[in-house]
Structure 1
Amino acid sequence: MERNETSQYTFTIIVPIYNEAENISRLEEKLQNFLPQSLYPACVLFVNDGSTDGSREKIHSICERNPHFFYLDMKKNGGLSAALKAGFDYCFSEFVGYMDADMQTDADDFNLLLPHLAEYELVTGIRANRKDSFFKNLQSKIANGYRRMMTGDGVSDTGCPLKVLHTGYAKRVPMFNGMHRFLPALILLQNGRIQQIPVRHYPRIAGKSKYHLWNRLTGPFIDCFAYRWMKKRYINYQISGTNLD
């Protein structure tokens, strides 16, 4: 894949979006304010995951009036893992991060994570004082505990939608449906190092959550077995020399 404008930046923020039209204006304002404050020269890459609520048109308008904003349009909705893989594939900055479009995390907190990339290949947020319902928090706690048992990744909140990592590692992640939940474990398969940092969390005030009992609890249980199958067969190689140009 040919390099693109993201190669002119050090840090690319991927924002997967599926039917978040009610949040996009606030998201634009937050990202506009963050970019000048970013510890590294940064850009934004929206990945429109087949939205049907007008999000696509709003994203295009944002990118027309903001020089550091870019977009990818998926032909159809493929889910969060597919949107992240597309973002990773089209990113050519040294570092890449991502956040949700629901405004429950704060882009400013990327500056809490970025300093640790000198020592770690992935830095993930941990949602402090989560503002979700008791039932949603309970589901997440159960799913996180089961995932840690199955993967041994030691991450307390892999569902936190605020992460930064080295782009080279991101591109080598073997993504398939549901694998966004296992990103730390997949970085560990590459012998990468992981750090966890507390970040802020806010209640959702607009739009609708895309998660329910199946994809928050039952789905991850099944995906753990897919991860265990892949882990035994994962190929991790390094090149010591070549005469290719």
Structure 2
Amino acid sequence: MTDSIAAPRISVVVPVKNEALNVLPLVEEIERACAPLGPFEVIYVDDGSTDETAETVVTARRTRPWLRLVKHEASCGQSAAVRTGVHAARGHIVVTLDGDGQNDPAFIPQLVAALDNPGTALAAGQRIGRKGTYKRWQSRVANGVRGKILKDGTRDTGCGLKAFRRDVYLRLPYFDALHRFMPALVKREGHAIAHVDVVDRDRHAGKSNYGMFDRLWVGILDLAGVWWLLRRRRRVPVAREIV
């Protein structure tokens, strides 16, 4: 087994649903971006696709021993797919990006480098040049509301491009749409957040498979829940055993 298989430093998690046409172009871009960073693995999480997504990943991994596939029997949503990928990951650093090609893997090295700063546990991509007028308006409203309530200093919580420490993620409370509230919850745990500007691109092919309305209206109850968690946070004792 190669080092990339046995001991990856970085695990790239890609949640996908019906993205067969986007698999190969994105895998090639991820490989170019991660090759200089040391041992890595890429985990595609197929969230109940009904097209040839899984078969395309299986074909691609014949010549890529670092490529893995985990498949949901039924669609459970993007947050669930990310969580599945993080649990399967073997690297202590996890990078996530959307499977439609709009997130450019070329920014992965910058995100990973941002975690070198002491105390930083999350590097969050902040999209510039956002594609899609309606999506841009909806995200601006949603992020504005979240920012005023949670005060996490993040202007674009919905960007799929993130790098974070796996152990920190696993300590966060899990719920649907967790990926949109990670900055506030990571900050709640006492860690620093880094922000990296990234360029938003057009999709390689196909159409969005996760609904637009969850970006604003469905998240209202989640927003209230996260606000409650932040309010209930208390000082964590620093303890040591006396021997």
TM-score (norm 2): 0.89
Partner of 1:16: helix, strand, or coil? strand
Shift of 1:34: 2.4
Secondary structure, aligned partner of 2:21:
coil
Q: Does 1:21 align with 2:17?
A: no
CA drift of 1:64 comes to: 2.8
Whether the aligned pair in 2 keeps the contact of 1:6 and 1:12 (CA below 8 Å) is: no
Q: What is the alpha-carbon root mean square deviation over aligned residues? A: 2.1
SS at match of 1:126: strand
- State yes or no: 1:41 paired with 2:39: yes
Partner of residue 94 from structure 1, selected from 92, 95, 114: 92
Q: Classify 1:21/1:238 alpha carbon distance in 2 versus 1 (closer, same or farther; 3 Å).
A: farther
Contact 1:143-1:221 at 8 Å conserved across structures? no
CA displacement at 1:41 relative to structure 2: 2.3
Q: How many angstroms apart in 2 are the aligned matches of 1:213 and 1:58?
A: 26
- Counterpart code for 1:89: H
- Distance change (3 Å), C-alpha of 1:12 and 1:236: farther
Deviation at 1:20, TM superposition (A): 0.7
Instruction: State yes or no: 1:209 paired with 2:182.
Output: no
Distance 2:234 2:97 in 1: 28
Deviation at 1:241, TM superposition (A): 6.0
Matched residue, 1:149: 148
How big is the shift at 1:150? 1.8
Structure 2: gaps spanning 5 or more residues: none
Q: For residues 118-142 of structure 1, give each alpha carbon's deviation from its aligned partner in whole angstroms, at most 9, with x where no partner exists.
A: 2211011111222x22221110000
User: Is the CA contact 1:12–1:93 (under 8 Å) kept in the aligned structure 2?
Assistant: yes
Equivalent residues of 1:6, 1:92 under 8 A apart: no
Q: What do the CA deviations read for 1:20-75 (whole angstroms, capped 9, x no partner)? A: 112112112212322323x2322111111111111111122222321111121112
Shift of 1:76: 1.4
Q: Which residue of structure 1 aligns with residue 195 of structure 2? A: 196
* Aligned partner of residue 24 in structure 1, secondary structure: helix
1:122 aligns with 2:84: no
| Corresponding residue number in structure 2 for 1:67 | 65
Look up the SS of the partner of 1:53 in the other structure.
Answer: coil
The corresponding residue for 2:53 is: 55
Distance of 2:169 and 2:192 partners within structure 1: 13
Provide closer, same or farther for how the CA distance between residues 19 and 233 of structure 1 changes in structure 2, counting only shifts above 3 A. farther
Q: Does 2:75 match 1:77?
A: yes
> How many angstroms does 1:96 deviate by?
0.7
Question: How does 1:171-190 map onto structure 2 within 5 Å?
Answer: 171-190=170-189
2:110 pairs, out of 93, 112, 119, with 112
Bigger drift between 106-115 and 222-231 goes to 222-231
- When normalised by structure 1's length, the TM-score is 0.88
